[in-house]
């Protein structure tokens, strides 16, 4: 019943990104961790148009490469649910191992990589057959998952081991381990594939790792006047394709930091909602959405003017966010 992502779909996506689809056509999906639901936001009116009940404790979400399906980590149900973004119905589940938290999909749309915190494994799921085809032992409490633009490397972060593990997707073997600061949460490649940015929630930093040499090039630190350093807990990371700007969600600091993607200097801090965790850029990169867990809302940030333009109430404890063009 589930269509595997077709080459045609991938072509459409490519075409879409070349012509920069008008912002009005966008749909934003937000997982509500405590509400066990997905809020659907119309990217034009910035209003919630639907709330869909899903499995228990939905956290990480990602769209298929043709944008037809939204994959949802239903953490307390120990599987991944597949939401049809047209019918807004759950149309299937995928194996994930216990307590899936974050997932990424390979650029060709064929594989899904998911971190299993309980078993210290990264599971690889074939999206066509829906089978788990490999399990890769990593450090304690794997969480963040990043995939290189060429699809050849997956980076996983382990929260208690404090490493970024580089995984070769051909052999499913670890090819490098890089120590970062305490409790690494997210691994995000730059569009040129040169760097991986890894946020450390307890360490309070973002490590910029050279993807070729596997060495930490730079450690970005944050400082907000009037805030205790402990309150600065970097989680979500998004980087513009041309690297002119990058965005880091700072958790209970209630701010998103704007960082120069080339010099690593922090440019500014934007006040958003409470305990900001995950971020997503619109396909045209003009807007950034942040999920604010404690204040039960998402903030829309104008990327060009570096300002928060709207906050939209969603369900209870919003966690993940994905945007369909």
User: Which residues are at the interface with another protein (CB under 8 A)?
Assistant: 99, 117-118, 120, 134-137, 139-141, 158-163, 165-166, 171-179, 181-183, 202-204, 214-215, 228-230, 233, 252
* 8 Å CB contact between 182 and 229: no
CB of 110 to another protein, least distance (A): 20
User: Please, which residue, 7 or 137, has the CB nearer to another protein?
Assistant: 137
The span from the CA of 78 to the CA of 55, in Å, is 9
CA distances from 42 to 28, 46, 229 (A): 6, 5, 36
User: Please, which residue, 68 or 165, has the CB nearer to another protein?
Assistant: 165
CB of 231 to another protein, least distance (A): 9
User: Please, which residue, 43 or 139, has the CB nearer to another protein?
Assistant: 139
CB of 252 to another protein, least distance (A): 8
User: Please, which residue, 27 or 96, has the CB nearer to another protein?
Assistant: 96
User: Please, which residue, 152 or 243, has the CB nearer to another protein?
Assistant: 152
Cα 318 → chain centroid: 13
User: Please, which residue, 81 or 143, has the CB nearer to another protein?
Assistant: 143
User: Please, which residue, 68 or 275, has the CB nearer to another protein?
Assistant: 275
CB of 275 to another protein, least distance (A): 10
User: Please, which residue, 214 or 243, has the CB nearer to another protein?
Assistant: 214
CB of 36 to another protein, least distance (A): 15
| Helix (H), strand (E), coil (C) string for the chain | CCCCCCHHHHHHHHHHHHHCCCHHHCEEEEEECCCCEEEEEECCCCEEEEEEECCCCEEEEEECCCCCEEEEEEHHHCEEEEEECCCCEEEEEEECCCCEEEEEECCCCCEEEEEECCCCEEEEEECCCCEEEEEEECCCCEEEEEECCCCCEEEEEECCCCEEEEEECCCCEEEEEEECCCCEEEEEECCCCCEEEEEECCCCEEEEEECCCCCEEEEEECCCCCCCHHHCCCCCEEECCCCCCEEEECECCCEEEEECCCCCCEEEEEECCCCEEEEEECCCCCEEEEEECCCCEEEEEECCCCEEEEEEECCCCEEEEEEEC
CB of 164 to another protein, least distance (A): 10
CB of 245 to another protein, least distance (A): 28
CB of 273 to another protein, least distance (A): 18
User: Please, which residue, 22 or 229, has the CB nearer to another protein?
Assistant: 229
At 181, list the tokens. 């600061």
The span from the CA of 207 to the CA of 78, in Å, is 30
CB of 318 to another protein, least distance (A): 17
């Amino acid at each position: 019943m589930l269509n595997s992502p077709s080459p045609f779909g991938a072509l459409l996506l490519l075409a879409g990104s070349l012509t920069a689809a008008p912002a009005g056509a966008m749909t934003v999906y937000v997982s509500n961790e405590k509400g066990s639901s997905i809020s659907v936001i119309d990217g034009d009116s910035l209003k919630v148009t639907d709330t869909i009940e899903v499995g228990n404790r939905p956290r990480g979400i990602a769209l298929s490469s043709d944008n037809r399906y939204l994959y949802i980590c239903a953490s307390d149900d120990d599987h991944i649910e597949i939401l049809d973004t047209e019918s807004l119905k759950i149309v299937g589940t995928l194996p994930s191992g216990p307590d899936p938290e974050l997932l990424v999909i390979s650029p060709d749309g064929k594989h899904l990589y998911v971190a299993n915190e309980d078993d210290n494994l990264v599971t690889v799921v074939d999206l066509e057959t829906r089978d788990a085809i490999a399990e890769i032992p990593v450090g304690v409490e794997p969480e963040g998952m990043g995939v290189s633009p060429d699809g050849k490397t997956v980076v996983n972060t382990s929260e208690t081991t404090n490493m970024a593990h580089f995984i070769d997707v051909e052999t499913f073997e670890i090819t490098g381990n890089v120590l970062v600061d305490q409790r690494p949460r997210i691994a995000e490649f730059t569009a040129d594939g040169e760097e991986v940015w890894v946020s450390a929630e307890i360490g309070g930093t973002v490590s910029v790792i050279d993807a070729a040499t596997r060495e930490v090039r730079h450690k970005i630190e944050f400082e907000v006047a009037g805030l205790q350093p402990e309150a600065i807990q970097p989680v979500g990371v998004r980087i513009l394709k041309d690297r002119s700007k990058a965005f880091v969600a700072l958790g209970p600091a209630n701010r998103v930091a704007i960082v120069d993607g080339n010099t690593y200097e922090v440019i500014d801090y934007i006040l958003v909602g409470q305990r900001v965790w995950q971020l997503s850029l619109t396909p045209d990169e003009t807007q950034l959405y942040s999920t604010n867990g404690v204040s039960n809302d998402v903030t829309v940030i104008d990327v060009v003017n570096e300002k928060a333009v709207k906050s939209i109430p969603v369900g209870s404890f919003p966690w993940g966010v994905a945007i369909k063009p």
